[in-house]
Amino acid sequence: MLKKTLQIMAAAALLGPGAALASEFTVTVDDAVDGSLAPAHFANIMHCTGKNQSPHIAWKNAPEGTKSFVVTMYDQDAPTGSGWWHWIVTNIPATATDLAAGAGSGLAALPKGAVQMNSDGGAPGYGGACPPVGQTHRYVISVTAMKVPALDLPPDASGALIGMMTNMNALAKATLTLKAGR
């Protein structure tokens, strides 16, 4: 028994510290302050005075076998009964590690091959946060590592359909929840 234990310990030492631990798949928004969306990421409609600029979203440690990514921003507190999809980008190449600030607003390029789907505002691209006055909403930013190179979706696919297809083809998901209120 002692011999087997020593063999396992020797093997672990050769692999190095942390070799048995997989790195966690994570997502970040670099200009979030105290867990909140920056004012630039608010919409510029319905008495909101933001710049409607999509945030810089970065991710790291995607699982082995990732063939593409889907990035979403979803307001789970929207007063609709079903939330609100603010941004959906599919078919992001597996080589990508971020979406530049403004990419969803036409201010920066998306990775080649990426497709912006309709938000719940009815058009492709980013629709900024604009919670009702006196409310703070939670915005879930998700990066899903996909086991397929692309999702075959109609251009007018709903957020629910995209979510279902994403979840059916997911390897892993990294999420970050940010707040926004006015």
pLDDT for the residue 21 = 54
What class is the 23-181 domain?
A: alpha beta
Model pTM score: 0.86
Residue labelled with tokens 């006196």 = 134
- Tell me the pLDDT tens digit for each residue of 2-12: 444 334 444 44
Domain-wise residue ranges, the chain: 23-181
Residues in the chain predicted with pLDDT less than 70, given as ranges, are: 1-22
Q: Are 121 and 85 in contact (CB under 8 A)?
A: no
**Average pLDDT along the chain:** 89
pLDDT for the residue 47 = 86
> 59-81 burial by CB neighbour count: b if 16+ within 10 A, else e?
beebeeebebbbbbbbbebbeee
